Structure 1
Amino acid sequence: MTSFRSSRSRFAALAYVTCGALALLGADGAAAEPQGEAAIRAVLSGGAEAEGRAQPGCVFGAFEKGRMVRLVAQGEADLSAHRALDADTLFYGASLSKQFTALAAATLVVQGKLALEDDVRRYLPELPAYARPVSVGMLMHHTSGIRDFLALLRLAGMEDVGKASRAQALDLLFRQQDTAFTPGSAYSYSNGGYLLLAEIVARVSGQSFADYANAAIFRPAGMPNAYFLDNANPVAGTFAHGYLPEGEHFVARDTFPRFSGSGGLMLSMADLAAWEREVAHGGSVWTPEVAEILLTPGRLADGQVLDDGKGLAYGGGLHIGRKGGERIVTHGGSAQAFKHAYMRLPDRGQSFALLCNRGDWKASATLEKALDAAAVRRPGMPEMPASGTYHSQELNADYTLAREGKGLAVTIASPLVESPRVLHFASQDDGAFHAGSMRLARTRDPARLTLSRGHSGELVLLRGDERKTR
């Protein structure tokens, strides 16, 4: 840790060279920011950069085929010391930790020391014998019914869960005489399940969970700063404090548990850069066998692929599925004063991450704004069809499309109306444009669109003279 942190300036310079983010010199010798960076920086500053007051912020990273192509850091890690955020700043990772907890378990599965089908009481005999056994896979996929230990701590009267120990959290879970629902019958996101999964990793490996993760994941993957908390505070001066606004100022709120499993990961954008290289190019950690475990959707006991409630499935610490036909791998991280978002788009070979140390922002919304500022089409969002007139033979109507921001202004004309009608279609992440219950979508043929309303089925629109030849 110390040797790398002392060379942080060298890594930052290398990162900027790698991602092409070095400032370019203009004709007058003044430094000019890379194209689009000012817009991203404005997003990460919340529009308050011009006010000149110190505030927390975010680090944004973009990756293509495992290579960092953009790095933008805005704000301070420590408002008292005026320490700026950068590529090496450690953040409390919150639920971004879960993919690495699942990864640790997956490495033991590949080694034959653990199986997803195993009854968890084989490793955790302290748990009561529930009416239906809980498997290791159920913990990983949030289908176990194990209660959330953060909720239990608060129900037990603890206001600041950051003061809880691992032993206290585990004791509460071991006291539960029943699960929240029949194991395997439903999906319900649970921090309790991932705390138990980390405990299983520790007992099977014979090491502390933090030590095993370091030896099996972080060190071989070349992640320079990352580590899991192990009932101790992070080293002062090495990490970003979390902040919340209070009146005209920000106050520090480092109210996170000091143990790991569901959370507890301390990581930087430099760590994510190393991890993206590992995922893109393969290595000793991200093997095909491990990838299959993490990227296979969990199933309920009846065989149905689980739904996370947002149209995606859940694998090993990752939400996985498709948006608008495009594959997506994603997860967020949220503590009282830390908000993070991570998204991988395998079909494009792109990944994006946002690490923030202010709790008054929603990370997913901030990441969307940053992608818009970087002129990156968000997953599932439709590509803009060519402007012009499209005809439906079945409706005997013309649809004239004109771009309107990120949406479409559509003028509908037919013998059934005296004057054309104009509708405004907004883009949505199902790959289509919507105006009320009407849906307009591109096809692989650029001259062909589909149109539907409710459950009426799809109609075809052909552009211009194309309809005369079809």
Structure 2
Amino acid sequence: MSPVSNSFAASSPATETDQAIRAIISDKQHEIAPGCIVGTFKDGSAQKMIPQGYADIENRQPIDGDTQFYAASISKQFTALAAATLIAQGKLALDDDVRRYLPELPAYRAPVTVGMLMHHTSGIRDSLGLLRLAGMNDVGRASKEQALHLLFQQQGTDFAPGTAYRYSNGGYLLLAEIVERVSGLPFAEYARRAVFEPIGMKGAYFIDNNLRPGTFAHGYLPVGEGFAVRDTFPRFSGSGGLMLSMNDLARYEYDIDRGHKVWTPRIAKIMLTPGRYADGSLIDDGNGLSYGGGLHLGEKGGQYVVMHTGSAEALKHAYTRLPDQHLAFAILCNRGDWTASAKLRDVITASGVRYPGFPATMPTGTFYSEQLESRYRLAPEGDGLRVEMSSDLTARPTVQHFTPQDDGRYHDGSMSITPTDDPARILVGRGGIEGIALIRRDKDVTE
């Protein structure tokens, strides 16, 4: 297998899907602008790699497959993966008390385990939040030692360890420190030897105080008529810190799906087993999923999904894998005013794949509610619905536009339409009123 090279997009003829994806990541107001690169993967091989925009505006360096991005929280799965390799070797265990490796931590009201750090159930406070509370608004100036010192100074946890879920950059900074102490190597060096080198991720590395020479995407925010550089990300690793290109991600996808040099069945079990609270119940991340090894995972709308986002001030990323279909999608962006997860959702839809949780069916035709004495005409509109509502209360029909959401419904902002297993019946709701049934009236469709 040869992961997609930089020449893929240039040498392959653009399809309608390519054009649709490029439109999603294009800036129609600026000729010179930062942007994104999209990667789509099938059976572990890159199918498309579509870049748009500039990694370095000043030097007119375009984004390409080898452009390195500060990966932000996309890094967490690689920190967990490094820890998982030690667990697989028997050198570390998920139920180990972290004070065995980090005696600088206070003895909290209940032991914090390695698994709690990995699954965000430790109650360990957020390291970036602590730095900002200490007056360091630009965390890009902070050192690992300063961040660790603040964590070691905390005399309590946000909740009893193991009893709740709260996303914590501090927990992952401590996890990286444990990997370093157990392996006997600097964390960045251990990750290189145990993860990046075996997989063939030649350009990927964890930051250890300084960026390496090479082409990396500056982060940008819009200012006035142009863009200003905002490279305000930390120069240490664990919760973030990974520098990653889309070509590196292609090699990672191959190892997950087919190579298994690092992503072995044993490692996959560690990474993809959802965490549990101390009482044995499954973690709920608050968005309908659980959390495993640096990854949100679970079922949405009948599809098993693995995903994570990454966000710094001016860099936004999203990554979604659909294991049952052997599909994966990623977007890396170097502009802080775009929402990467929303753009990736549009990319997945443009690729002809139902976004996880999106309604499995699109109800169309004419429906009627006896309770509301109203008629609804539903027609496709892109990937959404155009709905024309009429009743004796209105002089003329009201038209509203609904888009699919990952709660399995269509929304227009204030009103929802929910498909059911019966194509002749849908449910509508608005303003706290849910579940009013609409029944299809086929005889009205041609009126």
- Listed one character per residue, the Cα deviations across residues 13-45 of structure 1 (whole Å, up to 9, x for unaligned) are 2x44xxxx7343xxxxxxxx3323233223222
The alpha-carbon deviation at position 463 of structure 1 amounts to 8.5
User: Match for residue 114 of structure 2?
Assistant: 136
User: Match for residue 3 of structure 1?
Assistant: none
Counterpart of 1:246 (choices 212, 215, 223) is 223
Alignment CA distance shift 1:249-1:200 (3 Å): same
| Distance in structure 1 (CA, Å) of the matches to 2:368 and 2:267 | 50
Counterpart of 2:276 (choices 299, 311, 314) is 299
C-alpha contact (below 8 Å) 1:120/1:135 kept by paired residues:
yes
Q: Secondary structure at the match of 2:146?
A: helix
Counterpart of 1:115 (choices 78, 93, 96) is 93
Q: Which amino acid aligns with 2:172?
A: Y
| Distance in structure 1 (CA, Å) of the matches to 2:310 and 2:374 | 48
- Listed one character per residue, the Cα deviations across residues 57-79 of structure 1 (whole Å, up to 9, x for unaligned) are 11111111211111111111111
Q: Which amino acid aligns with 2:11?
A: L
The gaps in structure 2 that reach 5 residues or longer are none
Q: Between 90-99 and 405-414, report the one with greater CA deviation.
A: 405-414
Identity %: 57
Match status 1:265 vs 2:242: yes
The gaps in structure 1 that reach 5 residues or longer are 1-7, 25-32, 466-470
| Distance in structure 2 (CA, Å) of the matches to 1:238 and 1:374 | 29
| Distance in structure 2 (CA, Å) of the matches to 1:224 and 1:461 | 58
The alpha-carbon deviation at position 371 of structure 1 amounts to 3.5
Alignment CA distance shift 1:151-1:389 (3 Å): closer
The alpha-carbon deviation at position 374 of structure 1 amounts to 4.2
The alpha-carbon deviation at position 137 of structure 1 amounts to 0.6
Counterpart of 1:12 (choices 6, 14, 20) is 6
Alignment CA distance shift 1:174-1:412 (3 Å): closer
C-alpha contact (below 8 Å) 2:37/2:333 kept by paired residues:
yes
- Listed one character per residue, the Cα deviations across residues 326-367 of structure 1 (whole Å, up to 9, x for unaligned) are 111111111112111111112332111111111222211222
Matches within 5 A, 1:324-403: 324-385=301-362, 387-388=364-365, 401-403=378-380
| Distance in structure 2 (CA, Å) of the matches to 1:438 and 1:162 | 42
Matches within 5 A, 1:86-165: 86-165=64-143
The alpha-carbon deviation at position 175 of structure 1 amounts to 1.1
Q: Secondary structure at the match of 1:162?
A: helix
Counterpart of 2:199 (choices 202, 221, 229) is 221
The alpha-carbon deviation at position 276 of structure 1 amounts to 0.8
Match status 1:233 vs 2:208: no
User: Match for residue 308 of structure 1?
Assistant: 285
Q: Which amino acid aligns with 1:128?
A: P
User: Match for residue 44 of structure 1?
Assistant: 25
Q: Between 423-432 and 126-135, report the one with greater CA deviation.
A: 423-432
- Listed one character per residue, the Cα deviations across residues 368-400 of structure 1 (whole Å, up to 9, x for unaligned) are 333444454322212444644679999999976
Q: What TM-score does the superposition give when structure 2 sets the normalisation length? A: 0.87
| Distance in structure 2 (CA, Å) of the matches to 1:271 and 1:199 | 24
Bigger radius of gyration among the two: 1
Alignment CA distance shift 1:398-1:160 (3 Å): closer
C-alpha contact (below 8 Å) 1:22/1:34 kept by paired residues:
no
The alpha-carbon deviation at position 135 of structure 1 amounts to 0.5
User: Match for residue 5 of structure 1?
Assistant: none
The alpha-carbon deviation at position 232 of structure 1 amounts to 1.9
Counterpart of 1:83 (choices 61, 77, 98) is 61
Alignment CA distance shift 1:364-1:456 (3 Å): closer
Q: Which amino acid aligns with 1:301?
A: A
C-alpha contact (below 8 Å) 1:410/1:423 kept by paired residues:
yes
- Listed one character per residue, the Cα deviations across residues 149-203 of structure 1 (whole Å, up to 9, x for unaligned) are 1111122222321121111111111111111221111111111000000000111
Counterpart of 2:175 (choices 197, 213, 221) is 197
Counterpart of 1:274 (choices 251, 265, 284) is 251
C-alpha contact (below 8 Å) 2:27/2:33 kept by paired residues:
no
| Distance in structure 2 (CA, Å) of the matches to 1:241 and 1:411 | 46
The alpha-carbon deviation at position 206 of structure 1 amounts to 1.1
The alpha-carbon deviation at position 303 of structure 1 amounts to 2.0
Alignment CA distance shift 1:252-1:437 (3 Å): closer
| Distance in structure 1 (CA, Å) of the matches to 2:415 and 2:24 | 32
User: Match for residue 58 of structure 1?
Assistant: 36
Q: Which amino acid aligns with 1:122?
A: R
C-alpha contact (below 8 Å) 1:12/1:87 kept by paired residues:
yes
User: Match for residue 405 of structure 2?
Assistant: 428
Q: Secondary structure at the match of 1:170?
A: helix
The alpha-carbon deviation at position 249 of structure 1 amounts to 2.3
C-alpha contact (below 8 Å) 1:133/1:183 kept by paired residues:
yes
RMSD between aligned residues: 3.1
| Distance in structure 2 (CA, Å) of the matches to 1:262 and 1:137 | 15
Q: Which amino acid aligns with 2:299?
A: R
User: Match for residue 46 of structure 2?
Assistant: 68
Q: Secondary structure at the match of 1:347?
A: helix
C-alpha contact (below 8 Å) 1:324/1:432 kept by paired residues:
no
